[in-house]
């Protein structure tokens, strides 16, 4: 899992926010935080940034091609009526 270091960091930060009286439970709570974070992230329908960027580029190229085709169809329609 590529987000493992971020989950570890977040779980550690959450455990660090515990009040002083709960410091003895810190390791156990940190494990629980980590498990909850992983379980909930797995439920989300996420894609990597790299895949998102690839799809965004593909969409931009497709839109550019569509625009050119629309312009060509308009030219053909205009030329067809005149001729």
**Claim to verify: residue 10 and residue 42 sit in the same structural domain:** yes
Q: Give 58-81 pLDDT, tens digit per residue.
A: 999 999 999 999 999 999 999 866
Q: How many domains does the chain have?
A: 2
Please indicate, yes or no, whether residues 20 and 55 belong to a single structural domain of this protein.
no
Indicate if 39 and 7 belong to the same structural domain: yes
Answer yes or no: do 39 and 4 share one domain: yes
Residues 25 and 61 in one domain: no
Cα(29)–Cα(42) distance, rounded to whole angstroms? 20
Tell me 26's DSSP state. H
- List helix spans (H) across 1-83: 4-16, 26-43, 49-82
Residue 13 structural domain: 1-46
pLDDT at 64: 97
**Judgement on whether residues 30 and 66 belong to the same structural domain of the protein:** no
- Residues of the chain under the 70 pLDDT cut: 1-2, 80-83
What does the pLDDT read at residue 83? 46
The answer to whether residues 40 and 18 belong to one domain is yes
pTM: 0.49
């Amino acid at each position: 899992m590529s987000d493992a270091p971020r989950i570890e960091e977040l779980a550690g930060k959450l455990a660090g926010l515990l009040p002083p009286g709960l410091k003895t439970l810190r390791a156990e709570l940190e494990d629980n935080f980590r498990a909850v974070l992983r379980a909930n992230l797995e439920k989300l329908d996420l894609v990597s940034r790299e895949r998102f960027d690839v799809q965004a580029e593909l969409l931009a190229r497709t839109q550019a091609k569509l625009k050119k085709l629309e312009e060509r169809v308009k030219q053909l329609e205009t030329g067809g009526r005149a001729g």
